[in-house]
Chains A and B, each alone.
Chain A
Amino acid sequence: MEFKEVVGNRRSVRHFLPYKQVEREKIQVMLEAANRSSRSMNADYVKAIVVNRDELSEELRDSLRNPTTTLDLDMAPTYVMWFINLKYPEGTKERLKQLIDHGVNTPSHGWSHAYVDGVIQKTVIDKIAGDDFRLNWMGAIEAGQAIAQALLAAYDEGLGACLHNFSDTKIREALNVPDHWRRAWIMLVGYPAMGVEDGGQRPRRPLGENFYWGDADTPFESDPAVVARLTEAKLLQTPSPTPHRFEEIRLFNREFGLPD
C-alpha cells in the first residue's frame, strides 16, 4: 500500500472482529516500524509488551479496564501496551559516539568524541535526567513517534487499531513491568469489523485553523490542486459518516447484543 493511502486509512477503530486473531508476523512489522522511529540521542524511549487477549486471565483483563476502555478490551484480539522508558538518558554518551563513528553526527555539525566525553553529560544528559518535567515531556514526545509508526504499520498490514488509556496497577506485577516504565497507551489491534472504511475519515478542522505560514497570524492556505492529488492518492477519503453507517452499527450491535 502506498504511504499516503496508509495515512488516509488510519482511523481509530473500535469495532473489531473479536474472533479473528492477528498474525504474529504483522505484530512484528508494527514493532519494527516503531523501532525505526525518529529519536533524539538515538535513545530507546519506548517499551512495549504484546499480549493476546485470550492468553490473559479474566482477572487480569478486567484489571485493565477503566470507564472508557472496557468493551474494546473484549473485542480486540491483541493488546500492545506501550510504556515510556524513563531511563532513556542512560547510555547516551556511548550511543552518540557510535553515531559519530558511523558518520551520522559529523564534525561539520560540531560533533566529536571530545564533546561527547567532556561536555554533553553536564550540559545535556544531567539536565534532562534531573528534571522530571523535561524527562517526561521528552519521553512522551519521542515515545509517541514510535507508537504512531506502529499504528501506521498496522493499517498497512490491513489491521485496525485504537489507542486507549488503561489501568496498569495489577498488570505491572503480573507482567514484571519495571518501575521506570511509565504507562503510555494500550493499543488495541484487530481486524476492523466494518472494513477499512470504518465509517469514513473522522472530521478534522481546516489546515488554516492549526497551521501557519511565516507567522502565527497567517493561516496556511490549502491549495485545491494538492487536495485533488491527495484525494486521488487516498490520503483524503470519504468523510464520516459514510452512507449506512448507523445501519452497520445497529447490525454489529445486534450481533453481539450491544447497546444501541
Chain B
Amino acid sequence: MSNDFTVDSLMPTAEVQRWLASAKLDNQPEIEQTSRVRLLADFCNARGESPTDMIARVLRGGEEDGQYEIAIKGRRELDAAIDAWGDDLGVTLHQNITAGNVLRSFFIHNGVQMQGRPSL
C-alpha cells in the first residue's frame, strides 16, 4: 500500500483542477476544496493508485480524436471500490456515503459517467 498521495501533490494536477472548476468548487472556501482533495488522496493511498491511472482504466482510447469509450466492468469495479472505501471510514452512514460521493464527483467531472448513491 502506498502513501504517496497528498493534498499538495494532487491539487495542481489537471484532473483535480478540472474537477474543482467543473463542479464550481474553485470559488468555494479553501476548506471545501482541500477537504475533498484530501478524501481523494486517502482513496488513492488506500488503492495504491493515482487518479490518472484510475480514470485511464475506465476511459479507453482518446489518443487520436479525444473520444473515449467507457469500460463497463472497470466502472462497476470503481463504483464498488468507492462504496467499500466509504463504508470502511467508520463515521456515520451519511458521512460514509457523502465521502464516497465526493470521490464520484471527481470521476464524474473527469468524464467517468456514474451516478451518486443517496443517503436516505
Contact pattern, A 247-260, Cβ under 8 Å of B = 1, otherwise 0: 00000010011111
Contact pattern, B 24-37, Cβ under 8 Å of A = 1, otherwise 0: 11000000000000
Given contacts A67-B75, A246-B24, A258 and B118 within 8 Å (CB-CB): yes
In the complex, residue of chain B having the shortest beta-carbon distance to the beta carbon of A258: B116
User: Which one of A70-78, A209-217, A237-245 is at the interface?
Assistant: A70-78
Considering the chains assembled together, what is the distance between the CA atoms of A169 and B23 in angstroms? 35
Considering the chains assembled together, what is the distance between the CA atoms of A70 and B76 in angstroms? 12
**Chain A residues with CB below 8 A from B97, complex form:** 257
Contact between chains at A75 and B102 (CB < 8 Å): no
**Chain B residues with CB below 8 A from A75, complex form:** 118
**Chain A residues with CB below 8 A from B25, complex form:** 260
Which among A18, A246, A256 has the highest number of chain B CB atoms within 10 Å? A256
| Residue among B114, B115, B118 making CB contact with A256, cutoff 8 Å | B118
Considering the chains assembled together, what is the distance between the CA atoms of A74 and B97 in angstroms? 14
Contact between chains at B23 and A260 (CB < 8 Å): yes
| Residue among A253, A256, A259, A260 making CB contact with B120, cutoff 8 Å | A256
Contact between chains at B115 and A257 (CB < 8 Å): no
Given contacts A74-B120, A258-B101, A260-B105, A67 and B115 within 8 Å (CB-CB): yes
The interface on chain B, measured as residues whose beta carbon lies within 8 A of the other chain's beta carbons, has a size of 23
| Residue among A68, A72, A246, A259 making CB contact with B104, cutoff 8 Å | A259
**Chain A residues with CB below 8 A from B102, complex form:** 259
**Chain B residues with CB below 8 A from A67, complex form:** 70, 72, 75, 113-115
Contact pattern, A 126-152, Cβ under 8 Å of B = 1, otherwise 0: 000000000000000000000000000
Considering the chains assembled together, what is the distance between the CA atoms of A132 and B40 in angstroms? 51
Considering the chains assembled together, what is the distance between the CA atoms of A246 and B28 in angstroms? 13
Contact between chains at B113 and A259 (CB < 8 Å): no
Given contacts A18-B120, A67-B75, A68-B113, A259 and B94 within 8 Å (CB-CB): no
Contact between chains at A257 and B113 (CB < 8 Å): no
How many Å from the CB of B11 to the closest CB on chain A?
Answer: 17
Which among B95, B98, B118 has the highest number of chain A CB atoms within 10 Å? B118
Answer yes or no: B67 CB below 8 A from chain A CBs.
no
CB-CB contacts below 8 Å: B84-111 with A:
94-95, 97-98, 101-102, 104-105, 108
**Chain B residues with CB below 8 A from A253, complex form:** 116
**Chain A residues with CB below 8 A from B94, complex form:** 257
Contact pattern, A 55-80, Cβ under 8 Å of B = 1, otherwise 0: 00000000000011011101100000
Answer yes or no: B119 CB below 8 A from chain A CBs.
yes
Given contacts A71-B118, A257-B95, 5 further A-B contacts (CB under 8 A): A67-B72, A246-B24, A256-B116, A258-B101, A259-B105
Could you pull out 29 A-B pairs where Cβ atoms are within 8 angstroms? A18-B120, A19-B120, A67-B72, A67-B75, A67-B114, A67-B115, A68-B115, A71-B115, A71-B116, A71-B118, A74-B120, A75-B118, A253-B116, A256-B116, A256-B119, A256-B120, A257-B95, A257-B97, A257-B98, A257-B101, A257-B119, A258-B101, A258-B118, A259-B101, A259-B104, A259-B116, A260-B24, A260-B25, A260-B105
